Each structure stands twice: as structure tokens, then as C-alpha cells.
């Protein structure tokens, strides 16, 4: 059966197309929430299925994805993945990132990206990196005469960020695959990066430059078209 094309939100109106700070909003509050409900319902079964294929032995809750919206109009656009007390992954969007989305493809791709962090086990790896960095910080503090507590904090921060840019690109790659499976166009989805994604490149930056992220999506999309499975994680 042919997958129906994802529906698009209404075109911006003078009431919904507004600028707040450096962010351009294309949807009203209500239309953004409606789009998220529509897209998350379509993405969830795909995300769960792929997650289970790559997570044998990690427990029943590892792929039990929960979806949440923070309905606070004062927060800047943001989305992230976390875990609840039972180890269930939570994908959280706030209301303003939904208003900043131009179409369902962008929402679907970002959901896929956040799910990619869980599928690739990034939170577990990040904790390990932070702990290793803290130990190195303590050693350096002792050698240089810096307060041990300061060295541990700085080392932990650097350790946690050491692979953050690598993680973001890997999540972009997995997100490309997930969005495609759900019937969304990841190339259109990645157009959100220059508008809302953090850019970096420095040693303490957690996000790669937007052009590197877009290039990763294009490469992954070409692999999908050529029939090559995306299994780097």
C-alpha cells in the first residue's frame, strides 16, 4: 500500500507568522501542537520497531518511548531526549519549537533525531565519558596545583562534550532513516537546522555546524536511495 503524503500545516497568517527574538515562528500555538500530535502518532511505531531491532537484551523499557510537550511560551525553541525514573526514553518538544516548524517533515525528522540518541545509546556513553573526564581532571589538578573539585568539574564537562558532536551527527543519520521509514522527507526536514539548531565546532560545543549536519543527512539519504541499510549504530 502506498504511504500517504504527510499533511502540511496551514500557511502562515499575519497572526501566526511572527518573530520573537531571533526565531521566526510559522505556526500558531494550537496548529503547532496539532502537528506534533499528528506526526508523533505516525513516528512512534516506526521508532519503537527500529529501536527493538537494535536493542536486544536492554530491557522492556528501553524502547518504550514517551512523548511530551512543554507548554511554556517563554522558552526558546528546544527539543531533547531523556529518560524517566523507570528508564523509559522521553522525547520532549517545547511549544515554541513546534511554532518554528514549517511542515510535518521537519517535526518528523527532529523526532527521529531525538529517538536516534536513544537507539545509539548516547546517554549511557555520555555518562561514561563524563566520568572518565572527571578522573583526568583530578589528575591534572594534582599536577598543576589547581583545586581538585574545579579540576573534576571541568574534566567532567569536557568529557561529557567530547563526543557530543559525534553523537549529534550519528543521531542525524539515524533520524534520516526513521523519518524516511515513516514517510517523511528527511531532506526537507533538515532545512530546520539553520533556523533552530545549535551550531558549533569549538571544543566545548555540543552541536556541529549546521552545514555539517545537513551534509550528513544528504549522505544518509543517498544511501537509503541506493538500498544500503543505515546500520552505523
What are 122-137's pLDDT values in tens digits? 987 766 443 433 344 3
* Cα→Cα distances 149→130, 132, 133, 184, 203, Å: 14, 15, 13, 47, 21
d(CA 95, CA 30): 9
Quickly state the pLDDT bin for 146 (edges 50, 70, 90): very low
Q: What is the mean pLDDT of the chain?
A: 79
Q: For residue 148, which of 134, 161, 160 has the smallest C-alpha distance?
A: 134
Higher-scoring residue by pLDDT: 137, 103:
103
- Residue ranges per structural domain of the chain: 18-225
pTM metric for this prediction: 0.76
Amino acid at each position: 500500500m502506498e504511504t500517504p503524503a504527510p499533511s502540511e500545516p496551514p500557511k502562515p497568517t499575519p497572526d501566526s507568522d511572527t518573530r520573537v527574538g531571533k526565531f521566526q515562528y510559522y505556526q500558531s500555538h494550537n496548529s503547532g501542537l496539532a502537528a506534533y500530535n499528528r506526526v508523533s502518532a505516525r513516528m512512534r511505531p516506526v521508532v519503537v520497531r527500529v529501536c527493538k531491532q537494535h536493542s536486544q537484551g536492554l530491557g522492556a523499557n528501553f524502547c518504550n518511548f514517551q512523548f511530551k510537550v512543554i507548554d511554556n511560551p517563554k522558552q526558546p525553541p528546544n527539543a531533547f531526549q531523556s529518560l524517566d525514573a523507570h528508564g523509559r526514553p522521553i522525547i520532549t518538544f517545547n511549544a515554541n519549537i513546534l511554532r518554528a516548524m514549517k511542515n510535518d517533515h521537519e517535526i518528523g525528522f527532529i523526532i527521529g533525531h531525538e529517538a536516534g540518541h536513544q537507539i545509539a545509546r548516547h546517554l549511557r556513553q555520555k555518562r561514561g565519558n563524563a566520568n572518565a573526564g572527571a578522573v583526568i581532571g583530578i589528575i591534572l589538578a594534582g599536577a598543576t596545583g589547581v583545586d581538585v573539585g574545579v579540576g573534576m568539574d571541568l574534566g567532567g564537562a569536557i568529557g561529557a562534550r567530547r563526543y557530543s558532536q559525534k553523537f549529534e551527527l550519528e543521531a542525524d543519520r539515524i533520524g534520516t532513516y526513521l523519518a524516511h521509514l515513516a514517510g517523511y522527507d528527511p531532506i526537507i526536514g533538515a532545512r530546520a537546522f539553520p533556523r533552530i539548531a545549535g551550531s558549533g565546532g569549538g571544543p566545548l560545543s555540543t552541536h556541529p555546524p549546521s552545514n555539517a549536519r545537513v551534509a550528513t543527512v544528504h549522505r544518509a539519504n543517498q544511501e537509503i536511495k541506493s538500498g544500503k541499510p543505515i546500520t552505523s549504530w
